[in-house]
Structure 1
Amino acid sequence: MATTRIGLDQLPPAARAAIEKHTGPLLTVKETTEGFNSEIAARITSTTGTWHIKGLRTDHPRAWTQHREAAVAPFLTGLAPTLDWHVETAGWDLLGFEALNGHHADYAPGSPDLPEVAALLSRLGETPCPNIELRHAEQRLERYATRPDDLRHFAGAHLLHTDLNHTNILINDRAPHSNRVRLVDWAWATRGAAWLDAGYWVIWLIAAGHTPASAEHWATEIPSWHTAPAEGITAFAAANANIWSEISTSDPAPWTSRLAAASEAWHTHRMSR
């Protein structure tokens, strides 16, 4: 379920003051609408810089996502925006990231962004998993796997993002071509098999209009995908069909229905092979 968004002006004065200790007096605040997990999400500027700020109340049920993002951020150089500051005060947990310019990735068939996303996920697959507390993929998928034995396919020691919504990929058209794509929102960072992020991408590609075969073709551009056993991919497709069926039933919305249909189409494709 989406979290209710509030304006930065509704923060307690002490929380606002804590932010300005890092930024100086704010000149502009532009609230952002993307994302579902934050109560506070805005692009802020001062005379010293520009940041993207996101925050939750410290008693929010998903406050742990703030700590997860803060813990993983130092290990994501070249993959994600830099975390410049983290404050927790006056009942609020607030993260200040470097502000990125650019557009959200277009996942549609034929999009010029697709090779760049594949390259980003390839770089992520080469990134060592930090020794921090992370949930394990087999734990997250345990309730949804068709058979308990399927879970062995999802286990591994690699760092995963797991939320490949196109709004979480930012492409800076003004940056050097080899270093202009960033993956944001690491709240669901996970430890697991290296190929799983390519699998999560497949579902979003199908939701954007690809056939399951076309989506899997793009996954083959990511080296880790080739380490996945066929039965593991099928098990992963089945588990995600169950996940999105549950999500779309409890939170019926056009986007959840689209993901449920996409994941079911992939599962059907895998079962017909």
Structure 2
Amino acid sequence: MPAPSIAFDGLPSGVRTAIEAETGSILRFENVSTGLNSSLSAVAHTADGVVFLKGLRADHRWVWTQQREADINPYVTPLAPRLLFHVITDGWDVLGFEAIDGHHADYSPGSPDLPKVTAALQELASLPCPDIELRHAEQRLVGYVADPADADAFRGNALLHTDWNNHNVLISDDRARLVDWGWATRGASWLDPAYWIIWLVAAGHTPASAEEQAGSLPAWASAPPRAVDAFAQACARLWTEIAGADPDDWTRRLLTSAQLWQRHRRR
């Protein structure tokens, strides 16, 4: 379920005061769409610049993702926006990032953004996986494979983003930047291109053309076909679970995309 949203001016006064202690006086703010992973999502304008704020209540079941983003940020900039501060007070956990002026990546066939996203995937693949607490791909996916042994193929020591929702990819200064690192994972290097394939299908690619798009990435070339088959099946099961009995249009689209890819892999 999405995290319940809150506007910046709806935060407790102690939280707003703590944020302004980091940013200086906020002259104006814009509340922006929160998506699934945060309750607070706002752009704060100060005399010194612009800051993107992202927050969750301290008792939210996903609040651990805030610390994960804080821990990983030094290892993924400048591919990711730089973290400026982390405030935990008055029942809230808030991150402040440098704001990026750009647009969400367009994944549709023929989009000029696709080469930039490919370049970001290549850049990420070149980064060493930091020695910090991260989830492991084989553990995250073991409940969705037909045989638990199949999840061993997802094991690896690559740093993965795993959430390739195009809203997490901002195109700015003619390059792609990645946000929302809360679900960063340690695993096989080919998994990030594989996660991207489902989003490409959701944007209008056929499963075959989505795989072709990912095919320019060296990490994808290393993927064992049977392991990719198992991953496609795991994703279809995962999105079935997320969708539940009455999915919204967004979730239904991702479920359909995952199922299309799974059927393609069965041929």
What is the match of residue 154 of structure 2?
154
CA distance in 1, matches of 2:206, 2:137: 26
Alignment equivalent of 1:260, drawn from 247, 255, 265 = 255
Q: Which residue of 1 aligns with 2:46?
A: 46
In structure 2, the residue matched to 1:58 is 58
The CA deviation at 1:227 is: 1.0
- Superposed CA offset, 1:104-127 (max 9, x none): 000111111111101100110111
Q: Matches of 1:233 and 1:99 in 2, distance apart?
A: 36
- Give matches, 1:29-178, under 5 Å: 29-172=29-172, 175=173, 177=174
Point out the more displaced range, 101-110 or 27-36.
27-36
Structure 2 residue 176 is matched with structure 1 residue 192 = no
Instruction: Tell me the matched-pair count.
Output: 267
TM-score (norm 1): 0.96
- The Cα of 1:34 is off from its aligned counterpart by 4.2
Instruction: Give structure 2 stretches of 5+ with no counterpart.
Output: none
Q: Output the CA distance in 2 between the equivalents of 1:103 and 1:250.
A: 33
Q: Which runs of 4+ in 1 moved over 3 A?
A: none
How many angstroms apart in 2 are the aligned matches of 1:6 and 1:89? 16
**Quick one: distance in 2 between partners of 1:215 and 1:253?**
24
Cα deviation per residue 1:31-75 (whole Å; 9 max; x = unaligned)?
Answer: 001421111110001101111001111111111111111111111
SS of aligned partner of 2:143:
coil
Deviation at 1:14, TM superposition (A): 1.4
Superposed, which structure 2 residues align to 1:170-249 within 5 Å?
A: 170-172=170-172, 175=173, 177=174, 180-249=175-244
1:141 match: secondary structure: helix
Please tell me whether the aligned partners of residues 34 and 167 of structure 1 are also in contact (alpha carbons under 8 angstroms): no
Identity %: 53
Say yes or no: does 1:11 pair with 2:28: no
Verify the 8 A CA contact 1:65 1:188 in the aligned structure 2. Answer: yes
Q: Secondary structure at the match of 2:5?
A: coil
Q: CA RMSD in A?
A: 1.0
Q: CA deviation at 1:78?
A: 2.0
Residue identity opposite 2:228 in structure 1: I
